[in-house]
Amino acid sequence: MVGAPVLAALGQVLLADRAGLPAGLATGLAVAAGGLLAFGCGIAGAAAGRRIGFYEIASATLLLLALLFGPLLLVLPHLGASSLAVASWEAQGTLFLVLGLLATALLAGTAAFAGAALGFLLLGSGRLDASLSYEIFVARGHLQLAPRTLLALFLLVVTGIVPGLLVAMATSYLRERRARAAAEHGELVLRPRMPATLLMTLISIGGVAIGVWALTVVLSVMSGFEGDLKAKILGTRSHGMVLKYGQNDFTEWKSVRQQVLAVPGIVGATPFLYNEVMLSAGQNLTGAVVEGVDPSTVGTVIDLPHAIQEGRIEDLSRPIPSEGGQAKGKVLPGLAIGRELSRTLHVGLGDTVNVISPFGDLGPAGMQPKTRPFRVAAIFFTGMYEYDSKFAYLELSEAQHFFGTGESVTGLEVKVRNVDRARYILRHGVLPALEGYPYRVRDWGEANRSLFSALLMEKIVMAVILGFIVLVASFIIVATLIMQVLDKRREIAVLKSMGAGEPSVMKIFVLEGVVIGAVGTVFGLLLGFGTCLLIARVGIPLDPEVYYISNLPVRMDPTEFALVALLALALSYLATVYPASKASRLEPVEGLRGE
């Protein structure tokens, strides 16, 4: 139990920093490695003790919680009394840390418990017994899940509760009419009734299906939003940057650019000059970020040329007479602005915009702002409001002249072939090629860490909340199996009197619960896939002026579908352990007492 989180932490560091895997994949593999360690130790413990050992696992989980939270509880009072824990983001970070530690301990305990249950099923008799043929035969007789019953349940879930109930009531009414007509002719009519255990089984399957359905659809929609946002960010901003530590003399950028382009995995590099300014047009004034770019190479790194709706990117380096403002008729350098920024300033193509920089010439009263008129040569639209309302682009030489930087630039923007390996390529390819200091690198994930961390946390929280639907369905499975155990006490007693061991009896009820969960999971995956396909094909319209997208985005990730299915099956399996263990410990004399 203690080794599982340690292995997960070390594995995350090795896979992410050393092997260069994407952060999400590295974390997933590290957590899986820790879970497999706890799972394997649970199997070994159950094989050695020939029992599940619930109390031992619970004690180990509490011990792990004490080891994880003990140092944290000692530090938090001192941190809260200092000035370090005043900002809201620090308190939020502490909350995420506490939830992460709690989830680590619970996942380790759950994995150990699942492994112990499996170890008892396979090795509880003192030898390896993986046979299931007889147990499957008995479990199938208990469940009584005919194909037409499953089809009716699937149609009930698909059509909805109200239409499904109407269909069921109509079917019951027709059956009742046939029974009355047969009774009027003197025929003997036997009215079959659905057993209570079968009804509970169908309810359990429906609950698991609805939970998996909701979880897959919501995760697919959130992945669609995340993918759309990621595409817009990576289309507007570069995959990474090459900068210098605290220096403004990046004059050797041309030779550095050639070195960067020679690194395997780099497909483009362009210089940029970055500064914050004020833009004015008439009586309109707003803050903006002006970036000097090279029109000939900027298209190899970002999608700015394709995002331009009016004008061309080449017009930035072609002075054309201005058509509006006080500088009408004058030959001015070009400026590309976002669509939202043009609406804020009330300017169009060819109009004049004054760029005001707070870092101007040194005068008698100190630093004097510098201002210069520019012509609107292009208007772009990226779909990201923050960029369309705050960014403007100048030709690099004009930006260097305006800001007085000479031949120096802020840095290089680079594009990599595999965006998920951007951090690894920059840190283990570009940085060693430049021999480190004074150069430094920054990838897109680091630049947008807060945004994507918030999206990831939102997705995790939504998955946990909707996962409670599957958790509730697993409690229904527990109730169903307990009813099965009470209903089959005599059969269990007969089996045990004929020589069936505790693991064999336990296998029967574990199989029943797993089959219920598996059928519900398949139903839910089919419904989720169909719903996502319908949303993708038909589309749910959204107001592009508000959401910057015309339809609700959806992206079906096979990994997410597989994880949801694994979660549903794992909960179904864990739900079977208690009622199955109670059935396996039933004494034959107790089951046959009333016979």
Burial of 329 (0-12, 13-18, 19+ CB in 10 A): exposed
Nearest to 5 by CA among 110, 108, 95: 108
Residue 157 structure tokens: 């879930």
Cβ–Cβ under 8 Å, residues 556 and 231? no
- What pLDDT does 580 receive? 87
Residue 50 structure tokens: 């020939």
Nearest to 213 by CA among 523, 519, 524, 472: 524
Cβ–Cβ under 8 Å, residues 543 and 442? no
What's the CA gap between 436 and 239, in Å, rounded?
A: 19
The string of pLDDT tens digits covering residues 56-83 is 898 998 888 888 777 766 665 555 444 4
Q: How far lies 41's CA from each of 1, 47, 53, 106, 319, in Å?
A: 8, 10, 12, 16, 73
- What pLDDT does 42 receive? 92
Paired residues of 261 in beta bridges: none
- What pLDDT does 76 receive? 58
- What pLDDT does 207 receive? 85
Token pair 């007509």 in the structure block, residue: 181
- What pLDDT does 78 receive? 57
Nearest to 571 by CA among 464, 415, 414: 464
What residue type is 517 in one-letter code?
G
The string of pLDDT tens digits covering residues 512-541 is 888 888 988 988 898 888 888 888 888 777
Cβ–Cβ under 8 Å, residues 76 and 94? yes
Q: Which residues of the chain have pLDDT under 70?
A: 17, 20, 22-24, 72-100, 146, 148-150, 152-176, 178-179, 182-196, 246-248, 319-330, 359-368, 451, 544-548, 591-595
What's the CA gap between 349 and 336, in Å, rounded?
A: 9
Query: CB-side exposure of 333: number of CA atoms within 13 Å?
Result: 17
pTM over 0.85, yes/no: no
Cβ-defined contacts of 301-306 (< 8 Å, 24+): 301/238, 301/239, 301/268, 301/269, 301/270, 301/413, 301/414, 301/415, 302/235, 302/236, 302/237, 302/238, 302/413, 302/415, 303/235, 303/236, 303/382, 304/236, 304/336, 304/380, 304/393, 306/235
The string of pLDDT tens digits covering residues 191-204 is 555 566 777 888 88
- What pLDDT does 38 receive? 92
Q: Tell me how crowded residue 105 is: count the other CB atoms within 10 A of its CB.
A: 22
3-state helix/strand/coil string of 502-536: HHHHHHHHHHHHHHHHHHHHHHHHHHHHHHHHHHH
- What pLDDT does 306 receive? 85
3-state helix/strand/coil string of 65-110: HHHHHHHHHHHHHHHHHCHHHCCHHHHHHHHHHHHHHHHHHHHHHH
Strands 266-281, 331-332: pairing kind: unpaired
3-state SS assignment for residue 246: coil
Largest separation between any pair of C-alpha atoms in the chain: 117
Query: CB-side exposure of 224: number of CA atoms within 13 Å?
Result: 20
Cβ–Cβ under 8 Å, residues 280 and 392? no
Paired residues of 321 in beta bridges: 331
Cβ–Cβ under 8 Å, residues 566 and 558? no
What's the CA gap between 218 and 528, in Å, rounded?
A: 9
What's the CA gap between 41 and 115, in Å, rounded?
A: 7
Q: Which stretches within 185-249 are classed as H helix?
A: 196-236
Cβ–Cβ under 8 Å, residues 530 and 216? no
